[in-house]
Structure 1
């Protein structure tokens, strides 16, 4: 038949992609498989044209999941920040493909996949590590979220983290050295209450100072996050780590958070 010699692929229970690759190879080599079964003495029933149509329609639904699995299993690139935006793109693809297909089996498969994804990934938009990783990836920011309500809540969470970093970086307010008292204290000067060595306003002054510090930290953090969010997103082919190296002085606190959250891998093992 003048075709390259290829073997059929067997699926492996612990590797989802093996199921996709098995169906893909079977569909691609359907003519060779049919010819081989016709010449062999076997009880295996050859697949019908309807069976192959079903396989092809299902492969169209599964194809982006294969791509996502391969991409999220990379070990040398940022991957954790892709989970939320990739889930969004998979959902959009499934809904679009389900609406276009006329194959009942593929439509049912797609509907089940959408339902399972909604159940499994419904909480990803509220998980701190995942949401901050996505926001701090300059390629995605809030546009990577399927649910914009969760995106807004995540941006507030990022501002809170940035505020805390600013507070921690501020030096402590020095305390005034209390004057030593002699064994025979002098009589208090009624015209100068502070001459007693007692600062009646100490607690209130400290609380007011802390309130001013907190307000300044919150305002500065809000400005830093808003400036970052309004910057145009980075091209998806660009390296987000290189972006943060170039912008570490522009967004110093977000740079620290990016070092903390962008290192998170999407998968614990490669495929």
Structure 2
């Protein structure tokens, strides 16, 4: 029979190992829901009505995690590569080598294509609408346009307040969770911006937005060193960008939805 001390050591090892090596999918539930909630504030009345019909009254915040919810179902394995795009730093998406299995850009475009197709049934439209809401969130998480060699920062090991984690997870959820606001609080406290600023943020294409997110990914990689113990100062220097990307993701998601359901 193992002693209590031995069991404790084994459990501690397993907890540490799983924490350090776990891969994070994206913003995490709070981030995705924040983007969905923000988007709802920029939807046209007609758009809201059509979305409500498709989703049977469910909110964008509620369905925003759908892309991750289905990951454990083998039937949806084909959508896995749609959550990210890897391209060498300094190379635009247009000039980069494309993933033959698809990526964030092709995934979003496929969602739009299915939704716009008049022959698509309601069930399929709802499926791809929920996926679109999720992918637009992924597009604005810097590490989803990260380096291929470290899986978007998933193998970039460091510490967050003395606990083992990785750079992807820090940008995915660690900073958001540490800020300790609900998704509704984050959405309600987004920066107040003018209509002109909204139009400016909504300018561009999906490819342009991916290229922009890559510039933030580069900054994220430069913000930390492997093995570093990140603490309050890291939050102070970087959480403003997290909030900005959440707001930008919501505003741009609303633009796509207004176009799709106009």
Say whether the fold is shared (TM-score over 0.5). no
What range is the shorter-chain TM-score in? under 0.3
Determine which structure has greater relative contact order: mean sequence separation of CA pairs < 8 Å that are 6+ residues apart, divided by chain length. 2
TM-score under structure 1 normalisation?
0.24
TM-score under structure 2 normalisation?
0.24
Larger radius of gyration: 1
